[in-house]
């Protein structure tokens, strides 16, 4: 609806600095670095310069027991930050590749007596667990120590829901694995990996699964095909319906037994009268249901006998690019069809947290080819999130390493012969570069985007450098908003996990 001005009263326009879009976010923009896969199949996830990793296609690979390297690739799903022209796409997939080296005899439990070895006893699956119920078992029982003993046993994810959290604690032979999830009907697959006290040799178990209860069968109600959407033209052209379940993939679209997924045509109706056409939507059943495979949902359409013009609707307009700046200004969206007349409201107030908004667009139908061409404007609500006002990222420059699940992981890396590297330049609003190493509550940003820290630990230095974890280093824990939540001075010494403490 047009914004009205009543000119006998004043009407004020308020202008603020326009939001600068940052172009198209690509994998080059994300700048994934230092991805690798070791000979035992462990994936070292890459550091990311912009955006945040949401998911990955693989969490581990098999050990390379052959005689030549194996090319490995992992597809990372990355959240696109705001202010990019394709921010509305939400995510982008970026593939990382690495040649997995051949496992040397020293890392082969079968050839190296120092190595811990897997007993071969199957780690039992854990299924039907009530959400938030904590499950524990002794992980040590599945391994036999080599002459080097067992320094640690980790539980590593192979696949599945990120809502399942697994960790280990204690010392061999009483290393306890703890697994839980607060979400109903989720599944994740893990395996255990044991490391010696001082060697880089590792032994891995078979995989096991963890599933929470609360699942039911997938059916058409879950698919939630939207009534009134989709149609079939007289010439047989099929316009598919939309469905409400996000992420649900269509396996095939069938007309009888004929696959029309690609052709999207059922043939012309020359009968002289309207005929009912039943199309079958064959969906891939998503994770989280007790059934699997595919599921068919039938939808009946009426195919007209004569060419009738469709009504121009919001879906036909193909609205893209609607955007609210962190100042609350609304950028004009793009339409594939129709003419944008106005939008309402014209702007929003600034917000301190991301806030869902609805903008109502008034659109004039195209002048021809629709039943309502030349008729009244239509209004289309667009739901979009207004980002919080730009975070204070400061101007102090410091450097971060890749993220570690715990400080102890830095020590394990050291024991594996890898030094930490602070290769990522970030800016912070800490009072100084030195203070940034221990100042709680300060914010770390890649450029102007807060570091999506996932509560991981990062080695922090005031210059870009590489260090041996046997010596003192600073590490900070960063949350999803880039805020420093904890900090320690640590050194790994000669003891697994090292020593250190809160600053």
Partner 1 sequence: MALQKVNLKLYVYSGTSGSFSNGDLKYEISKDRISSQNNIVLEIGQLVKDYLVTSFDNDYIGNSVWVSAVVDYYEEATQAIYESNGTQTFTYLAFDGYGDFQEEINPALSTDLLQTSLNMYLPEGTAGKLPIFAEGVGKVIIDSVTTEITDNGNSNQKIQYLTIPANKSSVQIYATDDTTLLKTVTVNNVCEPKFTPHKVTFVNKLGTYQDVYFFKKTTESFNVKDETYKRNTIDTNTLTYGTNEGQKQRYNVNGSTKITLNTGYVKEDFNSALEELFLSENAWIRWENKTLPVIISSKDMTLKNVLNDRLIDYTVGFEFAFNKINNVR
Site for partner 1, rule CB under 8 A: 1-21, 329, 331-332, 339, 341-342, 346, 362, 364, 374-377, 379
Distance CA 25, CA 321 (A): 14
Q: How far, in Å, are 214, 215, 392, 491 from residue 450 at the CA level?
A: 36, 36, 9, 28
Q: Closest distance between partner 1 and the C-beta of residue 22, in Å? A: 8
Q: Decide: 266 and 337 in contact? Cβ < 8 Å.
A: no
C-beta closer to partner 1: residue 6 or 463: 6
- Cβ proximity to partner 1: between 21 and 465 the closer is 21
Q: How far apart are CA 288 and CA 218, in angstroms?
A: 9
Smaller CB separation from partner 1, 137 or 348: 348
Cα–Cα distance measured from residue 374 to residue 403, given in angstroms and rounded to the nearest whole number: 58
Cβ closest to partner 1, residue 6 vs residue 271: 6
Burial environment of residue 418 by CB neighbours within 10 A (0 to 12, 13 to 18, 19 or more): middle
The nearest distance, CB 390 to partner 1, in angstroms, is 11
Q: CA 445, 449, 455 angle in degrees (round to 5)?
A: 60
Residue among 62, 58, 78 at smallest CA distance from 70 = 62
CB of 17 to partner 1, least distance (A): 4
Looking at the Cβ atoms of 207 and 379, the one nearer to partner 1 is 379
Instruction: Please classify residue 270 by burial: count the beta carbons closer than 10 Å to its beta carbon, then call 0-12 exposed, 13-18 middle and 19+ buried.
Output: exposed
3 state DSSP class of 397: strand
Which stretches within 265-365 are classed as H helix? 314-317
What six digits make up the tokens of 251?
């396996």
Q: Rounded to 10 degrees, what is the CA torsion of 226, 227, 229, 234?
A: 140
Q: How far is the CB of 274 from partner 1 (least distance, A)?
A: 25
Distance of alpha carbon 8 from alpha carbon 495, whole angstroms: 80
Tell me 71's DSSP state. Answer: E
Nearer to partner 1, 15 or 246 (CB): 15
Residue with tokens 């069968």: 217
Cis peptide before 383 (omega within 30 of 0): no
The CB-of-322 to partner 1 minimum distance in angstroms stands at 14
Q: What is the smallest separation between the CB atom of 52 and partner 1, expressed in angstroms?
A: 23
CB closer to partner 1 out of 44 and 379:
379
Least distance in angstroms from the C-beta of 356 to partner 1: 22
CB of 83 to partner 1, least distance (A): 9
> Which one, 59 or 370, has the nearer CB to partner 1?
370
């Amino acid at each position: 609806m047009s914004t009205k001005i009543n000119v006998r009263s004043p009407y004020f326009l308020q202008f603020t600095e326009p939001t600068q879009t940052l172009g198209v976010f690509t994998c080059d923009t994300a700048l994934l670095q230092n991805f690798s896969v070791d000979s035992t199949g462990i994936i070292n996830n890459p550091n990311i310069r912009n955006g945040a990793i949401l998911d990955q296609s693989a969490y581990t690979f098999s050990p390379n027991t052959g005689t030549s390297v194996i090319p490995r690739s992992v597809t990372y799903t990355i959240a696109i930050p705001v202010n990019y022209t394709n921010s509305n796409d939400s995510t982008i997939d970026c593939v990382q590749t690495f040649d997995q080296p051949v496992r040397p005899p020293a890392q082969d439990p079968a050839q190296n007596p120092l190595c811990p070895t897997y007993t071969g006893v199957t780690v039992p699956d854990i299924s039907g667990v009530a959400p938030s119920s904590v499950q524990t078992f002794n992980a040590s029982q599945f391994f036999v120590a080599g002459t080097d003993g067992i320094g640690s046993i980790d539980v590593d994810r192979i696949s599945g829901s990120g809502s399942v959290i697994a960790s280990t604690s204690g010392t061999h032979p009483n290393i306890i694995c703890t697994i839980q999830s607060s979400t109903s009907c989720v599944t994740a697959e893990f395996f255990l990996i044991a490391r010696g006290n001082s060697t880089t040799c590792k032994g891995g178990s078979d995989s096991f699964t963890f599933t929470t209860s609360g699942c039911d069968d997938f059916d058409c109600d879950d698919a939630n095909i939207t009534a009134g959407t989709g149609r079939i033209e007289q010439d047989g052209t099929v316009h598919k319906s939309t469905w409400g379940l996000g992420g649900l993939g269509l396996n095939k679209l069938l007309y009888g037994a004929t696959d029309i997924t690609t052709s999207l045509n059922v043939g012309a109706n020359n009968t002289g009268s309207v005929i009912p056409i039943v199309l079958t939507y064959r969906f891939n059943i998503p994770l989280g249901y007790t059934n699997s495979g595919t599921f068919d949902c039938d939808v009946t359409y009426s195919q007209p006998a004569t060419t009738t013009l469709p009504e121009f609707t919001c879906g036909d307009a193909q609205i893209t690019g609607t955007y609210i700046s962190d100042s609350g200004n609304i950028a004009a969206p793009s339409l594939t069809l129709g003419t944008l007349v106005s939008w309402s409201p014209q702007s929003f107030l600034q917000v301190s947290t991301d806030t869902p908004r609805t903008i109502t667009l008034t659109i004039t139908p195209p002048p021809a080819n629709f039943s309502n061409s030349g008729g009244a404007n239509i209004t289309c609500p667009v739901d979009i999130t207004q980002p919080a006002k730009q975070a204070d990222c400061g101007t102090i420059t410091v450097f971060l390493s890749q993220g570690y699940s715990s400080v102890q992981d830095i020590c394990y890396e050291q024991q594996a012969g890898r030094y930490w590297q602070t290769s990522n330049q970030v800016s912070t609003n800490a009072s100084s570069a030195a203070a940034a190493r221990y100042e709680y509550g300060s914010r770390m940003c890649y450029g102007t985007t807060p570091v999506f820290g996932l509560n991981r630990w990062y080695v922090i230095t005031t210059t870009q450098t590489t260090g041996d974890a046997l010596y003192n280093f600073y590490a900070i824990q960063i949350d999803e908003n880039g805020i420093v939540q904890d900090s320690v001075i640590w050194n790994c010494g000669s003891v697994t996990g090292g020593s250190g403490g809160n600053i």
